[in-house]
Amino acid sequence: MNKRIGILGSGSVAQVLAAGFSKHGYEVRMGTRNAAKLADFLAQHGGKITVGSFAEAAAFGEILVLAVKGKAAKDVLALAGAQNLDGKVVIDPTNPIDDAPPENGVLKFFTSLNHSLMEELQSAFPSAKFVKAFSMIGGPHMVNPAFKETPTMFICGNDAAAKKEVNDILVKFGFAPEDMGAVTAARAIEPLCILWCIPGMTGGRWNHALRLIRT
Ligand SMILES: NC(=O)c1ccc[n+]([C@@H]2O[C@H](COP(=O)([O-])OP(=O)(O)OC[C@H]3O[C@@H](n4cnc5c(N)ncnc54)[C@H](OP(=O)(O)O)[C@@H]3O)[C@@H](O)[C@H]2O)c1
């Protein structure tokens, strides 16, 4: 029996992942401050996906997905309510992208290499089980993408059982998950988004993925 999914967010990532979880047979509720903007999207999904406030989506989900602007992530989790996050897996695709424009196609972050966004969120909400995932690939490739080879999805987080649940979801979604360890590893995973975006920013090429190879 699939667990219920609460997706915090209404943007492109939230929509792609909501549709992906629904396609894979999960019940999905999305959370936003403005449900009206999802009317067309919900209509396309024939009532299978529902919408509510951030708190309603967080209360509904047994597993949560945080798909919001990096700068707003902590505020969104506060609106969702710490009690609705307690003990739950929170899949975290967010990236700490600054408002300043990219330089030569290189995005700017508001975090440092010695402190990631997910570490900040994990310490603000210690009873939630954050797992970084989906952060280093574009939205259109997040669900069963059509690459010749299986792309890697780097993940990290402090809770082994939470990472196992996310690992199994990623395999269903067409990825080869690679566990990089504790939440600290988000310092290395979040900047992979900068690397992934460069060919798009400089040459309009967004049709690639990252893959770890071994001897
Ligand atoms: N786009 C991609 O291909 C991609 C790929 C990998 C990772 N990511 C990361 O995934 C996350 C979501 O990206 P996205 O492009 O789908 O959407 P986005 O435009 O980065 O974020 C939209 C969401 O952020 C919320 N938000 C923005 N400002 C807010 C505020 N002041 N207070 C509360 N909520 C606020 C919005 O809430 P409302 O619903 O209430 O308006 C909306 O749900 C980002 O962190 C991004 O870096 C994106």
Q: What is the mean pLDDT of the chain?
A: 98
Percent of the chain with pLDDT over 70: 100
What is the Cα–Cα distance from 117 to 6, expressed in whole angstroms?
Answer: 20
Q: What is the mean pLDDT of residues 87-100?
A: 98
Please give the average per-residue pLDDT across 113-141, as a whole number. Answer: 98
Q: What is the pLDDT of residue 74?
A: 98
Q: Is 177 in the pocket of ligand 1 (CB under 6 A)?
A: no
**CA 49, chain centre distance (Å):** 18
pLDDT in tens, 13-29: 999 999 999 999 999 99
Distance CA 47, CA 71 (A): 31
Indicate the pLDDT class of residue 3, thresholds 50, 70 and 90: very high
The residue-averaged pLDDT of 101-116 equals: 98
| Ligand 1 atom nearest 76 alpha carbon | 33
Helix 73-80 and helix 117-124, axial crossing angle in degrees, nearest 10:
30
Ligand 1 contact via 72 beta carbon (within 6 Å): yes
134 CA: nearest ligand 1 atom? 6
Query: What's the CA-to-centroid distance between 11 and ligand 1, angstroms?
Result: 6
Nearest protein Cα to ligand 1, atom 9: 94
Look at residue 47 and tell me whether its pLDDT is greater than 90.
no
Interval 48-58: pLDDT, tens? 999 999 999 99
214 CA → ligand 1 middle, Å: 34
Taking residues 114-126, what's their average pLDDT? 98
| pLDDT of 1 higher than 90 | no
Taking the centre of ligand 1 as the mean of its atom positions, its distance from the CA of residue 205, in whole angstroms, is 22
| pLDDT number for residue 201 | 98
For residue 87, report the distance from its CA to the centre of ligand 1, in Å: 24
Give me the pLDDT at residue 37, please: 96
Q: Over 90: is that where the pLDDT of 46 sits?
A: no
29-38 pLDDT, tens digit per residue, is 999 999 999 9
Out of 12, 13, 137, mutate this one to test ligand 1's pocket (max ligand atoms within 8 Å of CB): namely: 13
Bridge partners for 52 per DSSP: 31
Instruction: Evaluate: CB of 127 within 6 angstroms of ligand 1.
Output: no
Which residue out of 53, 69, 137 has the highest number of ligand 1 atoms within 8 Å of its CB and is therefore the one to mutate? 69
CA 12 to ligand 1 centroid distance, Å: 8
> Residue 77 above 90 pLDDT?
yes
